[in-house]
Amino acid sequence: MAENEEPGHISERVNSMISKGDIRAIVDSSLEGNFDINSAWKAVEIAMACVSPNPYERPMISVVVIELQEALATELARTKHDSGADLRYSVAPVSVNVDTEFMPSAR
């Protein structure tokens, strides 16, 4: 663990940053602030739902995919208007076919 990292599970550290409203501390610093705040909050919200201690509160992967695609669309719309966008960070939307046959069942 690096000297400047807090102890605890990453979800606990992120929860602490969320409670402070500190999205920039959560997002990869290599983006250098070049991201849409709303997209970042949406991605963090989705991620935190996926690690909920209560498995019944975790979203199905199909819901995660749809919500991440929406966040990505917002970010791509923003970068299209930004003529100085760094192409290293551009991402093409991906189509995912989720087979519900392999969804976990309640125990």
**Could you state, in order of their start, the residue ranges of all structural domains in the chain?**
10-96
pLDDT of residue 80: 78
pLDDT at 81: 64
4-39 pLDDT, tens digit each: 566 778 888 899 899 999 899 999 889 888 888 888
Q: CA–CA distance from 65 to each of 4, 9, 83, 94, 95 (Å)?
A: 33, 24, 28, 9, 9
Task: Name the pTM for this structure.
Answer: 0.66
